[in-house]
Structures are given as structure tokens and as C-alpha cells.
Amino acid sequence: MISITDITKAFNRGDINEVKALTGVNLQVNDGDFITIIGSNGAGKSTFLNAIAGSFSIDSGRIILNDDDITRWPEYKRAALIGRVFQDPLLGTCAGATIEQNLAMANTRGKRRGLGFGVKSKDRDSFRKKLSVLKLGLEDRLKVHTGLLSGGQRQALTMLMATMVRPRLLLLDEHTAALDPKTGGMILDLTAEIVESQNLTALMVTHNMNQAISMGNRLIMFHRGEIVLDIKGEKKKNLKVEDLLRRFSELRGEEGVSDRMLLC
Ligand SMILES: Nc1ncnc2c1ncn2[C@@H]1O[C@H](COP(=O)(O)OP(=O)(O)O)[C@@H](O)[C@H]1O
Ligand SMILES: [Mg+2]
């Protein structure tokens, strides 16, 4: 359903600072795939997600989402089909707006906007229902500005917003990395629940190998702008952290990458 063919992206092209961030990446994603993505710092993971979301134009290659060739679509148009959650909890919600205003905004994704973000009482009921699933008590705080919430609360809200209108694809870029372990665990549980209950197709970057193994049905590893490992199904279920470490260390042997780069 998602077909990514031979995409390349270099930053500062032609300059001495040129970085080849993606060097010919191919990935066929099936409907309902939940793919975890690992790789050392600077391997190209975020660039890959950003290329799909249209944050910049790619140098070559094609991106097909269902039957739409979105390769040349602007980011805002792709945003109608793609939900995103970033590492920084401050990015996903608008601090100056209330919880219900944020949710109302998310509800308009991909739809023609009406006048303003008026919140109707029937919307309010549905917001309360969705928020109560989070078990954070936010359903009783609809008129509170999100700027007053904790990072974990904001990230939970962002997860709801990113999936409020069912996205064709959900992109998660280290979306628990900035949270304490307990809160991060809560967001991960929520992620698994939302992806499963809505049968979403999702790509999740994580630097945590246990998470990468335990979540999703497929795991890919990036290294120097390429996919160097792609493990699915039964093989993924049997995967151990040591297997991934071994692969990392093989790559290190090949290219002299430092330990610090590998493990963060
Ligand atoms: N906007 C940018 N301008 C210049 N270089 C960039 C930009 N974004 C990413 N890079 C570089 O591209 C490479 C891949 O980065 P990134 O995709 O962020 O890696 P990862 O998410 O795997 O840590 C890195 O060398 C990074 O410094
Ligand atoms: Mg990154």
C-alpha cells in the first residue's frame, strides 16, 4: 500500500558540507504493517520520515501512498493523510489553545474548514470519551490550555490528535525519548492500543532496541542512509537485543563507527 522506491536526499548539495542522508532507500509497506526503525545517530531515520511527510523535496525516487503518487505533493496536502508525532511534546499541540480547541483542530484534518474552530457540544462528548481512554483525567479539563499540561499529557494528547481522523499512515519519531521511563511506557502502551484498535499502518523510530523488538510486526535498521536490515514475522518475534547488537558491531567493523554513535 505504501511504495517507496529508490529515494535519495542530500543536504547542502554541491557544498563541502554535503551530507548524503538517504542513498537509495526502497521500502514496500503493507496495509496494517507496524514497522519499528532503529539505527545510530545520523543514520537517516528522521530524514526518511520527513521525506515521506514532505518536509522537503527529495532528490530522486518515488513515494506512493495507496494509489496516490505523493512524491511532489506539498507537506500540507500530505498532512491530510499522514499523522505525525515527534520527540518534542511541545510540537504536537498548540500551547495557547485549550484541550478542546486542539482536538477540534485535529478533527478538521483533511476536511474543508468551516469558520473558526467552534466546538460543538456533540464534539465535546466525543472528545470526553476519547480523553477518558487516556486515564489522565483530561476529560474534565477540556477548557484548560495545553501549555499548562505536563510533557506526557501533551504527548498523549498529540497521539489522540494525530489519529483522530484515521491517518493512512502514522509516523512516530522517537516520540517517547523525551519522557521519563514511566510516562514513556504509558505513551507506548497507548500507541500500541491505538495502532491495533484502528488497524493503522505505522512507522516508529526508536533508539530503544527492546521497544523495537517488542512492538510492531517488522523491524528495519538504517545505517548511513540505507536500510541494512529488514526483519518480519516469526523471525522478528524470535529476535534478541544481542542479534541487533551483533549487526551493529558488524557495521562498526566495516566502517569504524564509534560505540557512542551506535548505542544512542
Ligand atoms: N536540515 C538538514 N540540513 C543538513 N543536514 C541535515 C539536515 N537534517 C539532517 N541532516 C543530516 O543528515 C544526516 C541524517 O540525519 P537524521 O535523519 O536526522 O538522522 P537520525 O534521525 O537517524 O539520527 C545527519 O548527518 C544529519 O546531520
Ligand atoms: Mg532522528
User: Ligand 1: does its nearest atom lie under 6 Å from the Cβ of 87?
Assistant: no
Give the tens place of pLDDT for each residue, 86-143.
999 999 999 999 999 999 999 888 776 655 567 888 899 999 999 999 999 999 999 9
Give the tens place of pLDDT for each residue, 221-232.
999 999 999 999
User: Ligand 1: does its nearest atom lie under 6 Å from the Cβ of 227?
Assistant: no
Q: How far is the CA of 8 from the centre of ligand 1 (A)?
A: 13
User: Ligand 1: does its nearest atom lie under 6 Å from the Cβ of 206?
Assistant: no
Q: How far is the CA of 59 from the centre of ligand 2 (A)?
A: 19
User: Ligand 1: does its nearest atom lie under 6 Å from the Cβ of 41?
Assistant: yes
Give the tens place of pLDDT for each residue, 2-43.
999 999 999 999 899 999 999 999 999 999 999 999 999 999
CA torsion through residues 155, 156, 160, 161, sign: negative
Amino acid 258: pLDDT:
52
Residue 32, Cβ neighbours under 10 Å: how many?
14
Give the tens place of pLDDT for each residue, 207-263.
999 999 999 999 999 999 999 999 999 999 999 999 999 988 888 776 655 554 444
Q: Is the pLDDT of residue 181 over 80?
A: yes
Rounded distance between C-alpha atoms, residue 30 and residue 14, angstroms: 36
Residue 119, Cβ neighbours under 10 Å: how many?
17
Q: Is the pTM of this model over 0.75?
A: yes
Average pLDDT of span 140-152: 96
Rounded distance between C-alpha atoms, residue 190 and residue 159, angstroms: 8
CATH topology of domain 2-97+151-263: Rossmann fold (3.40.50)
- Which positions ≥6 away from 59 have C-beta within 8 Å? 8, 9, 10, 13
Using most ligand atoms within 8 A of CB, pick from 13, 16, 19 the residue to mutate for ligand 1. Answer: 19
- 101 DSSP assignment: H
In the chain, what percentage of residues exceed pLDDT 70?
94
Query: CB–CB of 44/225 below 8 Å?
Result: yes
Rounded distance between C-alpha atoms, residue 175 and residue 13, angstroms: 29
Residues whose beta carbons lie less than 5 angstroms from ion ligand 2: 45-46
Nearest to 242 by CA among 211, 218, 210: 210
Q: Is the pLDDT of residue 200 over 80?
A: yes
Which residue's CA is minimally distant from atom 2 of ligand 1? 11
Do you know the residue count of the chain?
264
The residue among 51 and 258 whose pLDDT is bigger is 51
